[in-house]
Structure 1
Amino acid sequence: MGSKSSKAPKPPDPKATARLQAQMNIDTALAQNAINRTNQVTDDGAIIYTETGKQKVGGRDIPIYTATTTLSDAQKRIKNEADAAKYNLANAASYLSGRINKEPFKVDEEVEARLFDLGNKRLAPRLAEARRQAETDAANRGLRLGSDAYDRLMRQVGENENDAYNQHALTSRAEAYAEADRDHARDLNYTTALLSGSQVSQPSFVSNTPQAGVDGVPLAQMVDNAYQNQFAAHQQEQAQNDARLGSLLSLAGTAIAYSDKRLKEDIHKVGETSDDLGIYSYRYKGGGPLRLGLIAQEVEKAKPEAVVKGPGGFKMVDYRKALRLGERVRTA
């Protein structure tokens, strides 16, 4: 025997909850996208969003949108002119870079010779004057042509001339190298400047379109909370039924008690036994505390052997028979 109660709630299926949560996340993302997919129309043109296809996401067909930019007539002309200018700059850069590739850096010998000749026109007269002065000095000192002293003096003049010409040749080569380096660097700089030319100006569109936020639905948490609440309610009902059963068992200790409906008031059904007998709360019409028990008229219909008549014709219930206390339960 026992008092009936509802079954414990079935725990939520985690896979089903996850699938539903994923679908709700997709719905949230679609709502977010729809709210923020704002067409823009300005004096410079327009940006329009249009649906151009579908894609499968989470087993669902999700629309694909394309943002199309349309320029005003004035902006189209500006872009065409800018594109033409960029094309010309690119061609110029291609030509220069090709020339640099075909003509690697080198010192032009003709330039070097030209620089040497230019310098020599000034250096040679100075060296000739220095030689005449040395010869005049030798004559004033009485150094005879062919003497050791004269030869030493002229040898020194010759060495000075040779050093001067060597230095002049090195200087001319350095200048030729510097000129070649400037020409090479110039082509490189021109090419770099052309490649980094001005970019096409983008037309002006709204950059601060309001962005709305759509919070996702915490479905998994909501499902778990609902299950926990249902389980707590089930546990509370179990506790109440256990208390009622305890009251009935205590009442059964008296074996036979008045349970005639005619003697009771404030009757409310609060549960059932395992064999569908109603359990009621009530008070005797003569007063007294709230009690729990069976109704004799109901018990008599189901188990007439558990009901007897007492003094005054009022019906009494043998709770041991009504609740089948002491019976052995046979199992297969």
Structure 2
Amino acid sequence: MGKSKAPKAPDPPETAAAQTSTNIGTAIANGYLGNVNQVTPDGSLTYSQTGTNKWTDPMSGAVYDLPTWTATQTLSPGQQAIKIQNDAAELNLSKLANSQSGRLQDLLGKPFNLDGAPAAGDPSKVGLPQYTQYGSGPNLQTSLGNAGNVQSTIADAGNIQKSLGNAGDITKTYDYSSDTSRYENALMERMNPQLAQSRSVLETQLANQGLQPGSEAYNRAIDSATRQENDARFGAILNAGQEQSRLAGLARDQAGFQNNAQQQAYNQMLSSGQFANTAQQQQFGQNQAQLQANNTAQQQKFDQGLASATFGNSANQQMYQNNQTQTAANNALKDQTFNAQQAQLAAQNQARSQYLNEQYALRNQPINEISSLLSGAQVNNPNFVPTQGQSIPNIDYAGMVQQDYANKVGAYNQKQAGIGSVLGGLAGFAALSDERAKKDKKLIGGLYEYRYKGEGKSAPKRIGVMAQEVEKVRPEAVSKGSDGLRRVDYGMLFSAPVRKKSA
């Protein structure tokens, strides 16, 4: 079998250099596309290449010329004329501000004079008000005389019936444990001869068709017959269960009839006890009504005493509130006098503050005028619109190289899998695979290339597995010959499911 080589992996530095070259070329092209010249009513914006810079790739050492650009902004004739006039005006204002700034030296050299300012208010001349304290409250009545005892007990009206006689036992269980095995056995005894006869007929029919036990068609037929026999047996079990359910239903109905009779007797005894208790409750209600009438009379006497005491306390409280109101009015007059003095003091302070603000304004006005002369109007810059330039996307050259390599590796693995399938057709043939009998071994795609010891260098290489490695995962596919060397059954190796060797 000829030698098969895996595809060569791409060289990372070579791929990186190619990717860098592609990216730089794309970036330069995008620069040419993005530098769009613009012309507006207020001016224009022009891009021009003014030189190049050398850049060396640190990976590959390649040198690239990177263009440099200059953006030039030019005003329209009208805006340029405005700018010239504004520059001249700003120069004149600056000269005027320079000449007027000499006044500040004399102005700032004079100290601030407060001789003519109004006098400030004197807080010491404002007297605090002397308030009148509130008097203590009146003495109120806090207790009432005895209005009589409240009756809190009711005479005995008789005993309440709390229990009932025995109305009979309740049936809580019933027999539903009929043995289903009798019905199952009866059905099975009737069914088993027929199933055995059907199985014998099927085996004879399969033998007549030339199907031997163990073949796939024979096993499918036997499996289908077995499922039918199991379905028949399950049907017999279900029929036996249904018969048991019918007998359980009869037992349940009998127990229900007995419990209904017991419930009827219990209800009659309950009605008799409730009648006796109703009569006792009626006697208790009459006794309770008598006591409530006596307590109502006592409550009326208590309410009259409470109303009298409440009236006296209300009169005393009203007199107390009148005195408190008079005291509050006197204190309010004192507050009014104090507030008037505070208002006079605030008016004096406001007059003084107004005078000082006017003096500050006179002093700051020349300074503000000179500051305003130093600021001039600004020229309108052109408003350039954002351009929608075209751009070239970067090419993933490294990804393309890697994908091409992955495709080649996939094709190689597919070829190696085809070789494995050919080896799998050697079912029952144990080939010499002991690693001690091989030389020039090289692992490729999960299999080994090798020559047997004793073969020349020019002999074609073979492809296969190492028996020692297979023995660890598929010991059933490895055998030893009389020479002590291991051999592998390739048909068993490639068709049998993977089974790990037990520890």
TM-score relative to the length of structure 1: 0.48
Higher relative contact order (CA 8 A, sep 6+): 2
When normalised by structure 2's length, the TM-score is 0.33
